[in-house]
Amino acid sequence: DGGITQSPKYLFRKEGQNVTLSCEQNLNHDAMYWYRQDPGQGLRLIYYSQIVNDFQKGDIAEGYSVSREKKESFPLTVTSAQKNPTAFYLCASSMIGGWGQGEQYFGPGTRLTVT
Amino acid sequence: AQSVTQPDIHITVSEGASLELRCNYSYGATPYLFWYVQSPGQGLQLLLKYFSGDTLVQGIKGFEAEFKRSQSSFNLRKPSVHWSDAAEYFCAVASFGNEKLTFGTGTRLTIIP
Protein backbone atom coordinates (compact mmCIF):
# COMPACT_ATOMS: atom_id res chain seq x y z
CA ASP A 1 0.00 0.00 0.00
CA GLY A 2 1.24 3.48 -0.84
CA GLY A 3 1.36 6.06 1.86
CA ILE A 4 3.33 8.13 4.32
CA THR A 5 4.80 6.78 7.50
CA GLN A 6 5.91 8.80 10.46
CA SER A 7 7.74 7.41 13.41
CA PRO A 8 7.50 7.28 16.29
CA LYS A 9 3.85 8.05 17.11
CA TYR A 10 4.82 9.51 20.50
CA LEU A 11 8.17 11.01 21.42
CA PHE A 12 9.39 12.34 24.73
CA ARG A 13 12.55 14.41 25.18
CA LYS A 14 14.23 16.48 27.81
CA GLU A 15 14.64 20.18 27.23
CA GLY A 16 17.92 21.03 25.53
CA GLN A 17 18.08 17.87 23.43
CA ASN A 18 17.77 17.75 19.67
CA VAL A 19 15.28 15.23 18.31
CA THR A 20 14.70 13.94 14.78
CA LEU A 21 11.27 12.97 13.46
CA SER A 22 11.11 10.50 10.61
CA CYS A 23 8.93 10.81 7.49
CA GLU A 24 8.97 8.33 4.61
CA GLN A 25 6.71 8.15 1.57
CA ASN A 26 6.34 5.57 -1.19
CA LEU A 27 3.93 7.56 -3.34
CA ASN A 28 6.70 8.76 -5.69
CA HIS A 29 5.77 12.34 -4.84
CA ASP A 30 8.27 15.07 -5.55
CA ALA A 31 7.13 17.50 -2.85
CA MET A 32 7.21 16.93 0.89
CA TYR A 33 6.15 19.15 3.79
CA TRP A 34 6.40 19.45 7.54
CA TYR A 35 3.64 21.09 9.57
CA ARG A 36 3.24 21.87 13.21
CA GLN A 37 -0.23 21.69 14.76
CA ASP A 38 -1.19 23.37 18.00
CA PRO A 39 -4.72 23.52 19.43
CA GLY A 40 -6.72 26.35 17.88
CA GLN A 41 -3.99 27.32 15.42
CA GLY A 42 -4.52 24.98 12.53
CA LEU A 43 -1.50 23.76 10.59
CA ARG A 44 1.57 25.91 10.21
CA LEU A 45 4.21 25.14 7.61
CA ILE A 46 7.71 24.55 8.93
CA TYR A 47 9.69 23.46 5.84
CA TYR A 48 8.96 22.07 2.42
CA SER A 49 10.95 20.47 -0.36
CA GLN A 50 10.14 20.06 -4.02
CA ILE A 51 13.27 18.24 -5.10
CA VAL A 52 16.06 16.19 -3.60
CA ASN A 53 18.80 18.23 -1.93
CA ASP A 54 16.67 21.37 -1.92
CA PHE A 55 14.20 22.75 0.63
CA GLN A 56 12.62 26.05 1.63
CA LYS A 57 11.61 27.60 4.91
CA GLY A 58 7.97 27.83 5.71
CA ASP A 59 6.27 30.23 8.09
CA ILE A 60 7.82 28.96 11.32
CA ALA A 61 11.22 27.47 10.43
CA GLU A 62 13.17 28.92 13.37
CA GLY A 63 14.51 26.18 15.62
CA TYR A 64 14.00 23.43 13.04
CA SER A 65 16.16 21.85 10.36
CA VAL A 66 15.50 19.34 7.57
CA SER A 67 17.31 17.34 4.92
CA ARG A 68 16.20 15.76 1.66
CA GLU A 69 18.87 13.30 0.61
CA LYS A 70 16.38 10.87 -0.92
CA LYS A 71 13.10 11.46 -2.69
CA GLU A 72 11.30 9.18 -0.24
CA SER A 73 12.59 10.69 2.98
CA PHE A 74 12.27 14.10 4.64
CA PRO A 75 13.38 14.00 8.29
CA LEU A 76 12.77 16.95 10.60
CA THR A 77 15.11 17.85 13.46
CA VAL A 78 13.70 19.86 16.31
CA THR A 79 16.68 21.62 17.80
CA SER A 80 17.23 22.94 21.29
CA ALA A 81 16.79 26.44 19.83
CA GLN A 82 13.06 25.82 19.33
CA LYS A 83 11.51 27.61 22.28
CA ASN A 84 8.26 25.70 22.47
CA PRO A 85 8.73 22.34 20.76
CA THR A 86 5.87 20.41 22.35
CA ALA A 87 3.32 19.93 19.54
CA PHE A 88 1.83 17.52 17.03
CA TYR A 89 3.97 17.27 13.90
CA LEU A 90 2.54 16.24 10.55
CA CYS A 91 4.41 15.26 7.41
CA ALA A 92 2.78 15.43 3.98
CA SER A 93 3.65 14.87 0.35
CA SER A 94 2.17 15.83 -3.00
CA MET A 95 2.70 15.77 -6.72
CA ILE A 96 3.84 18.98 -8.32
CA GLY A 97 1.59 20.75 -10.79
CA GLY A 98 -1.35 19.48 -12.78
CA TRP A 99 -4.58 18.19 -11.32
CA GLY A 100 -2.81 16.96 -8.22
CA GLN A 101 -1.65 20.40 -7.19
CA GLY A 102 -2.41 21.12 -3.59
CA GLU A 103 -3.65 17.62 -2.91
CA GLN A 104 -1.43 16.67 -0.03
CA TYR A 105 -1.29 13.24 1.54
CA PHE A 106 -0.62 13.23 5.26
CA GLY A 107 1.10 10.85 7.59
CA PRO A 108 -0.41 9.88 10.96
CA GLY A 109 1.68 12.42 12.86
CA THR A 110 4.18 12.41 15.72
CA ARG A 111 3.27 13.90 19.07
CA LEU A 112 6.39 15.39 20.63
CA THR A 113 6.50 16.25 24.30
CA VAL A 114 9.50 18.11 25.70
CA THR A 115 9.85 18.50 29.46
CA ALA B 1 -0.92 36.97 0.75
CA GLN B 2 -3.60 34.34 0.74
CA SER B 3 -5.52 33.54 3.92
CA VAL B 4 -8.38 31.37 5.08
CA THR B 5 -10.94 32.06 7.80
CA GLN B 6 -13.10 29.45 9.44
CA PRO B 7 -15.33 31.50 11.72
CA ASP B 8 -16.76 28.58 13.70
CA ILE B 9 -14.35 27.00 16.18
CA HIS B 10 -16.79 24.33 17.33
CA ILE B 11 -20.14 23.14 15.99
CA THR B 12 -22.50 20.61 17.53
CA VAL B 13 -25.05 18.85 15.35
CA SER B 14 -27.56 16.11 16.01
CA GLU B 15 -27.08 12.85 14.16
CA GLY B 16 -29.16 12.89 10.99
CA ALA B 17 -29.29 16.68 10.81
CA SER B 18 -27.79 18.71 8.02
CA LEU B 19 -24.40 20.37 8.32
CA GLU B 20 -22.75 23.45 6.90
CA LEU B 21 -19.21 24.50 7.80
CA ARG B 22 -18.13 27.93 6.73
CA CYS B 23 -14.92 28.93 4.98
CA ASN B 24 -13.90 32.32 3.65
CA TYR B 25 -10.71 32.93 1.74
CA SER B 26 -8.67 35.93 0.71
CA TYR B 27 -6.81 35.67 -2.57
CA GLY B 28 -6.54 37.95 -5.58
CA ALA B 29 -6.95 35.47 -8.40
CA THR B 30 -8.96 32.29 -8.72
CA PRO B 31 -7.95 30.10 -5.82
CA TYR B 32 -7.60 26.37 -5.56
CA LEU B 33 -9.72 25.35 -2.57
CA PHE B 34 -9.72 22.25 -0.43
CA TRP B 35 -11.46 20.69 2.55
CA TYR B 36 -9.58 18.22 4.71
CA VAL B 37 -10.82 16.17 7.68
CA GLN B 38 -8.80 15.05 10.70
CA SER B 39 -9.85 12.43 13.22
CA PRO B 40 -8.39 12.83 16.72
CA GLY B 41 -4.68 12.09 16.84
CA GLN B 42 -4.52 11.32 13.13
CA GLY B 43 -3.32 12.90 9.92
CA LEU B 44 -5.53 14.80 7.49
CA GLN B 45 -7.56 13.30 4.67
CA LEU B 46 -8.73 15.19 1.59
CA LEU B 47 -12.53 15.43 1.36
CA LEU B 48 -12.83 17.46 -1.83
CA LYS B 49 -11.19 20.15 -3.94
CA TYR B 50 -12.14 22.93 -6.32
CA PHE B 51 -9.90 24.00 -9.17
CA SER B 52 -12.25 25.40 -11.81
CA GLY B 53 -15.50 24.68 -13.62
CA ASP B 54 -18.62 23.61 -11.80
CA THR B 55 -18.83 25.57 -8.57
CA LEU B 56 -20.52 22.71 -6.71
CA VAL B 57 -18.06 19.92 -6.04
CA GLN B 58 -18.72 16.49 -4.64
CA GLY B 59 -16.37 14.74 -2.31
CA ILE B 60 -16.00 11.57 -0.34
CA LYS B 61 -18.24 10.46 2.53
CA GLY B 62 -21.25 12.32 1.10
CA PHE B 63 -19.79 15.82 1.48
CA GLU B 64 -20.11 18.63 -1.02
CA ALA B 65 -18.91 22.22 -1.17
CA GLU B 66 -19.91 25.27 -3.17
CA PHE B 67 -17.50 27.90 -4.43
CA LYS B 68 -19.03 31.39 -4.39
CA ARG B 69 -16.65 33.91 -5.86
CA SER B 70 -18.85 36.90 -4.96
CA GLN B 71 -18.74 35.93 -1.28
CA SER B 72 -15.18 34.55 -1.27
CA SER B 73 -16.59 31.43 0.31
CA PHE B 74 -16.23 27.69 -0.01
CA ASN B 75 -18.67 26.20 2.50
CA LEU B 76 -18.81 22.48 3.19
CA ARG B 77 -22.18 20.74 3.44
CA LYS B 78 -23.64 17.36 4.20
CA PRO B 79 -27.39 16.60 4.11
CA SER B 80 -27.38 14.14 7.01
CA VAL B 81 -24.48 13.65 9.41
CA HIS B 82 -23.43 10.37 10.95
CA TRP B 83 -21.72 9.87 14.30
CA SER B 84 -18.56 8.94 12.40
CA ASP B 85 -18.39 12.46 10.96
CA ALA B 86 -17.24 13.82 14.32
CA ALA B 87 -13.78 15.23 13.59
CA GLU B 88 -11.96 18.46 12.87
CA TYR B 89 -12.39 20.02 9.46
CA PHE B 90 -9.90 22.28 7.75
CA CYS B 91 -10.37 24.53 4.76
CA ALA B 92 -7.26 25.33 2.72
CA VAL B 93 -6.29 27.46 -0.26
CA ALA B 94 -3.49 27.28 -2.81
CA SER B 95 -2.61 29.49 -5.73
CA PHE B 96 -1.81 28.50 -9.29
CA GLY B 97 1.75 27.25 -9.60
CA ASN B 98 2.29 27.27 -5.84
CA GLU B 99 2.21 23.91 -4.12
CA LYS B 100 1.92 25.36 -0.63
CA LEU B 101 -1.38 25.24 1.17
CA THR B 102 -2.63 27.86 3.60
CA PHE B 103 -4.93 26.31 6.18
CA GLY B 104 -7.71 27.77 8.25
CA THR B 105 -7.70 27.20 12.00
CA GLY B 106 -10.24 24.41 11.74
CA THR B 107 -13.77 23.67 12.93
CA ARG B 108 -14.36 20.89 15.42
CA LEU B 109 -17.57 18.99 14.76
CA THR B 110 -19.37 17.18 17.56
CA ILE B 111 -22.29 14.86 16.80
CA ILE B 112 -24.93 14.24 19.46
CA PRO B 113 -27.37 11.32 19.39
pLDDT in tens, chain A (115 residues): 669 999 999 999 999 999 999 999 999 999 999 999 998 788 999 999 999 999 999 999 999 999 999 999 999 999 998 999 999 999 999 988 766 667 899 999 999 999 9
Q: Give the distance from CA A22 to its chain's centroid.
A: 8
Q: Do the beta carbons of residue B77 and residue B17 sit within 8 Å?
A: no
Which residue of chain A has the CA closest to B100?
Answer: A102
CB atoms within 10 A of CB B26: 13
Contacts of B92 in chain A (CB under 8 A): 102
The answer, for B45 touching chain A at a CB cutoff of 8 Å, is: yes
Distance (Å, rounded) from C-alpha B106 to C-alpha A40?
Answer: 7
**For B108, which residue in chain A has the nearest alpha carbon?**
A40
**Predicted confidence band of residue B109 (pLDDT cuts 50, 70, 90):** very high
CB-based contact B94 A101, cutoff 8 Å = yes
Q: What percent of chain B has pLDDT over 70?
A: 98
